[in-house]
Amino acid sequence: MGRVDDGAVPLAQAWRGGILESTHTGHAVICDETGQIVESWGNPAAVIFPRSSCKMLQALPLLESGAAEAAGLTERQLALSCASHEGAALHTEAVAHWLADRGLSETDLRCGAHEPYDRAERNRLIEGHEKPCQLHNNCSGKHAGFLTLNQHLRGGSEYVELDHPVQKAVKAAFEETTGEVSPGYGIDGCSAPNFATSVHGLARAMSAFAAARDAGSTRERAMHRLARSMATYPEMVAGEGRACTELMRAMDGKVAIKTGAEAVFVAIVPDRKMGIALKITDGGTRGAEAAIAGLLVKLGVLDADHPATRKRLNAVQKNWRGFETGIITLAPGFA
């Protein structure tokens, strides 16, 4: 495996006045249902932290253990377990109700509090002189899933610790689906361990989700249900105006996609039985969104002229007076 900057190639570019102003380099891999590389750019062996792009992997033990079924979790809740939501009312209320149904509360979460990304909710807090709580954390849905699994496993309260049964189950599922022994881990923004893997390993895992059907092994059924839930409830996975939500809607619920911090993006494409993973080395979201849109267009599952696509790919940049100043494109030779 190589470092994240080893062998990176240009994936996206920003132009201004007909002159190349900025270049986003990175790595991208498309895998088939066997986990083999169909096409790649940069270094497939580059080691990355998948960050929130791997939340469907972290949710696998929730289903495989029987905890989700025992708790009667809905498809909407499963989508929320894979979410990096914006802390809008629909997200915080859904997490609060989920916890209450389990006899739990906001204080049982271990994700920490931050200001909601949703403007309406942020303004409501300011106007009411309220502080954000852990429900507003973009990972609170994932943590509600961890807590539900933890109840099933009868583990201790500190479920984010590396040696906790919840995280041991997550690591096992992560390594089995990526097909790699993780070379290490970091602590994510929500305090949970985030296991490293190669870009190829992450794409391999996504292709397994893409090939999974609602019949077969326990893992295949879990993968199928999680991917279907994400694609069916895109508003729960991110929120209004966000790339994950808008692009999944643009693909009519046929593809599940998920971003992660520091410009990671993945896609699960069941109709093609293919998985995608990419990483922009500078951590720039702009480059990652353009790159994933380009690959989805390449696979024929996203309309290049859809407004959600044009917002991110071949996206005209405007200044505060509405003048066109530049454009974001794919780099030559990519997608």
**Phi (first) and psi of residue 132, to 5 degrees:** -65, 150
- pLDDT of residue 53 exceeding 80, the answer is yes
How crowded is residue 118: how many other Cβ atoms within 10 Å of its Cβ? Answer: 21
pLDDT in tens, 309-319: 999 999 999 99
Cα separation, 116 vs 114, in Å, equals 6
pLDDT score, position 4: 77
* pTM, entire model: 0.97
The DSSP symbol for 2 reads: B
Residue 189 has pLDDT above 80, yes or no: yes
The Cα–Cα gap between 81 and 241 comes to: 20
Query: What's the rounded Cα separation, in Å, for the pair 310 and 107?
Result: 41
Sign of CA dihedral 246, 251, 254, 256: negative
Residue 205 backbone zone (phi > 0: left; psi -120 to 50: alpha; other: beta): alpha
Report in angstroms the alpha-carbon separations of 236 from 143, 176, 245. 14, 27, 8
When pLDDT is averaged across residues 109-132 and rounded to a whole number, the result is: 97
Q: Rounded mean pLDDT of 92-117?
A: 98
Residue 96 pLDDT: 98
318 Rama sector, left if φ>0, alpha if ψ -120 to 50, beta otherwise = beta
Average pLDDT over residues 247-257: 97
Which of residues 84 and 6 earns the better pLDDT score? 84
Q: Would you place residue 3 in the very low, low, confident or very high pLDDT band (cuts 50, 70, 90)? A: confident
The percentage of the chain sitting over the pLDDT mark of 70, rounded to a whole number, equals 99
* C-alpha closest to that of 194 among 260, 243, 239: 260
What is the overall mean pLDDT for the chain?
Answer: 97
- 19 compared with 4, residue with greater pLDDT: 19
| Percentage of residues in the chain having pLDDT higher than 90 | 97
| Domain 9-330 CATH class label | alpha beta
Nearest to 136 by CA among 120, 157, 160: 120
Cβ count near 83 (within 10 Å): 32
Q: What tokens were used for 156?
A: 């201790």
Per-residue pLDDT averaged across 247-262, rounded? Answer: 98
* pLDDT band, very low/low/confident/very high, at 50 (cuts 50, 70, 90): very high
CA-wise closest residue to 190 among 280, 42, 83: 83
Residue 109 has pLDDT above 70, yes or no: yes
Q: pLDDT confidence of 248, banded at 50, 70, 90?
A: very high
For residue 24, give the DSSP letter: E
Cβ–Cβ contacts within 10 Å for residue 105, how many? 12
pLDDT in the model for residue 2: 67
**Would the pLDDT of 117 be above 80?**
yes
Q: Is the pLDDT of residue 237 over 80?
A: yes
User: Residue 11 in 3-state DSSP?
Assistant: strand
| pLDDT at 6 exceeding the cut of 90 | no
| DSSP assignment letter at 42 | S
Q: What pLDDT score does 1 carry? A: 61
Which whole number is the average pLDDT over 23-27?
Answer: 98
In the numeric block, which tokens belong to residue 196?
């490293």
Which residues does 143 contact at the CB level (< 8 Å), separation at least 6?
109, 110, 111, 134, 137, 190, 192
CA 283 to chain centre: 15
